[in-house]
Chains A and B, each alone.
Chain A
Amino acid sequence: MTLAATEISRPKSRVLPWVNGSAVVMTLYLVFLLLPIYWLLNMSLKTNTEILSTFSLWPQDLTFDNYRTILTDPSWYMGYVNSLIYVVINTVISISVALPAAYAFSRYHFMGDKHLFFWLLTNRMAPPAVFALPFFQLYSSVGLFDTHIAVALAHCLFNVPLAVWILEGFMRGVPKEIDETAYIDGYSFGRFFMKIFMPLIASGIGVAAFFCFMFSWVELLLSRTLTSVDAKSIAATMTRTVSASGMDWGVLAAAGVLTIVPGALVIYFVRNYIAKGFALGRV
């Protein structure tokens, strides 16, 4: 509007070719945003020689060898499998623990509820490095070192509070009178929760699960500290690619691309609710 208005007020001789301002901004934004990802993709399709010797905007010598390496070498693809296992375990634990907790926070008042609620979030803010050493020692001493469940449990430290916060926000949006109407109709608590309540907060559960999935998927420090061989995560695998023959740039780039894929897939399902999730359900 303002652009058009200034256009009109200008003397005719100085009219410039009309440029869509928002399109320019959007294009620049997307270029800055996607350039690193494009470069990763670009690298993953090149040979190591090309990566190291020349500067090329697209692969001159297109190769899928890097991907082939990852998908055939167990030391690579088992990283994905291990990550996927503990991420799924973690998501399931986090959501099933957070559901009753969030319900309690959204429905009942008890002594210290607000403090407890905030304290939960401070767990989310704590740096993982703080917990790396005690976790390593603790899990080793109870024989859980290098197991999937160890990483899944460790990640609960961050994901349970997050899931509680997100779910609480969504649950607060459901009027308490629905609960009561259900009880009056004769629903027991369990039946009400499964049949009436869960469908109402399905999008919240989806968003919370997505966040748990993503945080657990990208977390490096704890997963590397708590695993060595059997449950080694993909993030840890990627950091151990420096060999005697130097860095294998192409394979590393291909691994990076494959690491982005699950997140992109999962985000598709919750794309409509993700903003509400970032606001912890409080919109």
Chain B
Amino acid sequence: MTLQLEGVSKGTGRETHIHPIDLTLQGGTMNVLLGPTLSGKTTLMRLMAGLDRPTEGRVLWNGEDVTAVPVQKRNVAMVYQQFINYPSITVFENIASPLRLMGKSKSDIHTAVHEAADMMKLGAMLDRKPLELSGGQQQRCALARALVKNAGLVLLDEPLANLDYKLREELRAEIPRIFEKAGSIFVYATTEPEEALLLGGNTATLWEGRVTQFGNTPTVYRKPVDATTARVFSDPPMNFLQVSKTGAKLMFGDGQSASASGSLAHLPDGRYMAGFRPNHLEVSRHAADAMEFHPQLSVTEITGSETFIHLDHNGERWVGLIHGVHNLPLDKPLPVYLDPAHVYIFDTDGGLVAPASYAAAA
């Protein structure tokens, strides 16, 4: 079972929503579309589903061109961010609706619906109307309908975004487990890097209508191909600073330097961009060779067990994620430390030159 996008693009008038994309998704895999809002996740899903026709390119299902096949004839199921059910019919009929249209027998429908409903903990709600359910239950109903269809391609468009924190965690754990058995292709759109990492599988990072990278989720996280991917796949986004290489040394400004070892040793001298994730910034020295910076502290946000620090480093805005609650003086330089092992090096166009050595080792 494969879904293949060949140079698929989408635009209206002069605007381009999706730049030509080549993507191959395999059966039995979880594929996460990760990107900020308006990056084209939903548009891409609609193209995959057949709800929209691509402006250019072809969509292949098991090698067969299905670009012109209407959505009714495709083997897909989809769950939206909003809780979409048919309000005028009962939960049972909602879940049963794709099966009824397939012409399944009454007893088959009965068994399948009850099985799916039990899995989604809706067993007791089957006689109710969708609007009499809570938000979480409504979304479970939509998920059950997608599940019961047993489609080859299951599209989940930010299905948990409108749910409260607790329910989201619960369902996030359930979804891969439930859909795993079916062996279909799963596509899951999300704006949260954390969610992508929790779901595992493969991740495609999207930025302004382009897939910047597609691959195994941890690999994409550890070795982003460019600065954009690294920015998208990091929450808060990755921090950057200028760096220049002369000889065997990387000069970070502020008189801080690190030795250019390993793959960096063969790098030609010149200007580069260094990137590091917020959680790698520290307020106390842990590594002997850690670099020390003194950016201005502008804002601190305390979330209970963690502290976000917003810093201004010579005009570059950095965000740091520090464990524990820290009451730090605002509008004063704050000494922060960065282990060179956590630094990614990009060229000035944003392409990855060398991943951080901790990530390369993993």
Residue ranges of A at the interface with B (Cβ–Cβ < 8 Å): 175, 177-178, 180-188, 196, 199-200
Nearest-Cβ distance from residue A180 to partner chain B, whole angstroms: 6
A199 to B93, CA, bound (A): 14
**Inter-chain contact A186/B102, CB cutoff 8 Å:** yes
**Which of the residues B80, B88, B101 comes within 8 Å of A185, measured between beta carbons?**
B101
> Which positions 77-96 of chain B face chain A at CB distance < 8 Å?
77-78, 80, 82, 84-89
User: 11 A–B contact pairs at CB < 8 A?
Assistant: A177-B84, A180-B71, A183-B51, A183-B72, A184-B74, A186-B98, A186-B101, A188-B72, A196-B89, A199-B88, A200-B87
A177-B80, A180-B51 as given contacts; A186 in contact with B72, CB under 8 Å: yes
Closest 7 CB pairs of A and B: A199-B88, A186-B101, A185-B98, A177-B84, A183-B71, A177-B80, A181-B84
Task: Please encode chain B, from 35 to 78, with 1 for each CB lying within 8 Å of some chain A CB and 0 for all others.
Answer: 00000000000000101000000000000000000111010111
Closest-by-CB residue of B relative to A109 is: B12
Residue ranges of B at the interface with A (Cβ–Cβ < 8 Å): 49, 51, 70-72, 74, 76-78, 80, 82, 84-89, 97-98, 101-102, 142, 145, 149
Closest-by-CB residue of A relative to B73 is: A186
Nearest-Cβ distance from residue A174 to partner chain B, whole angstroms: 9
- For B145, the chain A residues whose CB sits under 8 A away are 181, 185
**Which of the residues B71, B72, B86, B149 comes within 8 Å of A178, measured between beta carbons?**
B86
Closest-by-CB residue of A relative to B157 is: A177
- For B84, the chain A residues whose CB sits under 8 A away are 175, 177-178, 181
Nearest-Cβ distance from residue B140 to partner chain A, whole angstroms: 15
Interface contacts beyond A177-B84, A185-B97: sample of 19 additional A-B pairs, CB < 8 Å, sorted by A:
A175-B82, A177-B80, A178-B84, A180-B78, A181-B85, A181-B86, A182-B86, A183-B51, A183-B71, A184-B74, A184-B77, A184-B78, A185-B98, A185-B145, A186-B72, A187-B72, A187-B97, A196-B88, A196-B89
- For A188, the chain B residues whose CB sits under 8 A away are 72
- For A175, the chain B residues whose CB sits under 8 A away are 82, 84
Closest-by-CB residue of B relative to A198 is: B88
A184-B71, A185-B145, A200-B88 as given contacts; A177 in contact with B82, CB under 8 Å: yes
Nearest-Cβ distance from residue A145 to partner chain B, whole angstroms: 44
Closest-by-CB residue of B relative to A184 is: B78
A187 to B74, CA, bound (A): 12
**Inter-chain contact A181/B88, CB cutoff 8 Å:** no
- For A178, the chain B residues whose CB sits under 8 A away are 84, 86
- For A182, the chain B residues whose CB sits under 8 A away are 86, 97
A44 to B85, CA, bound (A): 54
A188 to B72, CA, bound (A): 7
- For A186, the chain B residues whose CB sits under 8 A away are 72, 98, 101-102
A188 to B71, CA, bound (A): 10
A175 to B149, CA, bound (A): 22
Nearest-Cβ distance from residue A85 to partner chain B, whole angstroms: 32
A200 to B97, CA, bound (A): 16
- For A196, the chain B residues whose CB sits under 8 A away are 86, 88-89
A182 to B51, CA, bound (A): 11
- For B97, the chain A residues whose CB sits under 8 A away are 182, 185, 187
Nearest-Cβ distance from residue A183 to partner chain B, whole angstroms: 5
- For A200, the chain B residues whose CB sits under 8 A away are 87-88
- For A180, the chain B residues whose CB sits under 8 A away are 51, 71, 78
- For B101, the chain A residues whose CB sits under 8 A away are 185-187
- For A187, the chain B residues whose CB sits under 8 A away are 72, 97, 101
- For A199, the chain B residues whose CB sits under 8 A away are 88-89
**Which of the residues B76, B82, B87 comes within 8 Å of A184, measured between beta carbons?**
B76
**Inter-chain contact B87/A181, CB cutoff 8 Å:** no
Nearest-Cβ distance from residue A201 to partner chain B, whole angstroms: 10
A175 to B138, CA, bound (A): 15
- For A183, the chain B residues whose CB sits under 8 A away are 51, 70-72
User: Which of B49, B80, B84 counts the most A-chain CB atoms under 10 A from its CB?
Assistant: B84
- For B76, the chain A residues whose CB sits under 8 A away are 184
A187 to B145, CA, bound (A): 14
- For B87, the chain A residues whose CB sits under 8 A away are 200
- For B149, the chain A residues whose CB sits under 8 A away are 185
A114 to B182, CA, bound (A): 46
- For B142, the chain A residues whose CB sits under 8 A away are 181
Closest-by-CB residue of A relative to B79 is: A181
User: Which of B86, B89, B142, B149 counts the most A-chain CB atoms under 10 A from its CB?
Assistant: B86
A188 to B70, CA, bound (A): 10
Closest-by-CB residue of A relative to B70 is: A183
A183 to B74, CA, bound (A): 10
